[in-house]
Amino acid sequence: MKRIDGKVISDHIKALAAAETEQLRAQGVTPCLAVIIVGDDPASRTYVNNKKKACELVGIRSLEFALPGTAAQAELLALIEKLNADSAVNGILCQLPLPKGIDEKTVLTAIDPRKDVDAFHPVNVGHIMIGDPVLLPCTPAGIMEMLAYEGIDPSGKNCVVIGRSNIVGKPMAMLLMAADGTVTVCHSKTRDLASITSQADILVSSVGKPHFVTPDMVKPGAVVIDVGMNRDENGKLCGDVEYDAVAQKAAYLTPVPGGVGLMTVAMLMKNTVTAAKMQMTQQG
């Protein structure tokens, strides 16, 4: 079994983004990412700090806007409007989840699609749907980069995605389909899940339940991508996949931690550079 190393691949993506950033700087443009965090959720704070560190590494200017958990939706929307209008800001990211009383959909659709580096705006989702992506959702795009790096071509393969969220499951299915994979999306209402997953050449799990994917659900020689970020009964970070047991059957497997999570931040850097290049062309 080959362990797909998220650190090695994400470092590769960040190095490419850093080289592009340097080229942009030489043309007088410093890519800039604005991150908004509302409230004091510890997991969100960790994510935001990781994004800041990655920006420093790549040479992207990062701005942080921290609003209290009591902030009104109108205040958040006013901030987004201001950042939309600021030509020095290339990417805007609003860290999820948002506190109760703030409508996520309203907030995400307020971000200018050209600056939507998470690719959650309906305009960007539509582009992905018709196979004409501009900015790609970070986690699914990171998974596609992992497959490419390992020389795994989804074309003609049975690809099964467990989970149908707007953030991972649905766009993952679209990207695999765009790469000519034959895609099945499974979810909580799927009957006889193991009979479907055990046919998968490429299996992607984004359920959010520890030990959910067991060896009987995996085809011998499959590529297994674990998107889960969970805590097990001992409070230890783990994925959706029973790692040690599935490792006996799979040909490729991503670890947690050290797998897909690292790719998400790397792809955010790539999207910010892409957005900066796109906006430079439009302004020019």
178-198 pLDDT per residue, tens: 999 999 999 999 999 999 999
* Mean pLDDT value across residues 103-112: 97
Residue 180 is predicted with a pLDDT of 98
E strand or H helix that includes residue 94: strand 91-94
Instruction: Examine the domain organization and report whether 191 and 88 are in the same domain.
Output: no
| Residues that are catalytic | 51, 95, 118
CATH number where 63 lies = 3.40.50.10860
Range of the domain at 43: 27-112
Q: How far apart are the first and last CA of the chain?
A: 49
Cis before 99 (ω within 30)? no
Cβ contacts of 198 within 8 Å, gap of 6 or more: 216, 217, 218, 219
pLDDT at residue 284 greater than cutoff 80: no
Residue 234 lies in a domain: yes
* Mean pLDDT value across residues 257-269: 97
**pTM (2 d.p.):** 0.96
Domain tally, the chain: 2
Residue 181 lies in a domain: yes
State the pLDDT confidence band at 4, using cuts at 50, 70 and 90. very high
Q: What is the pLDDT of residues 19-58, one digit of tens each?
A: 999 999 999 999 999 999 999 999 899 999 999 999 999 9
Residue 211 is given by DSSP the state T
CATH number where 231 lies = 3.40.50.720
Residue 163 lies in a domain: yes
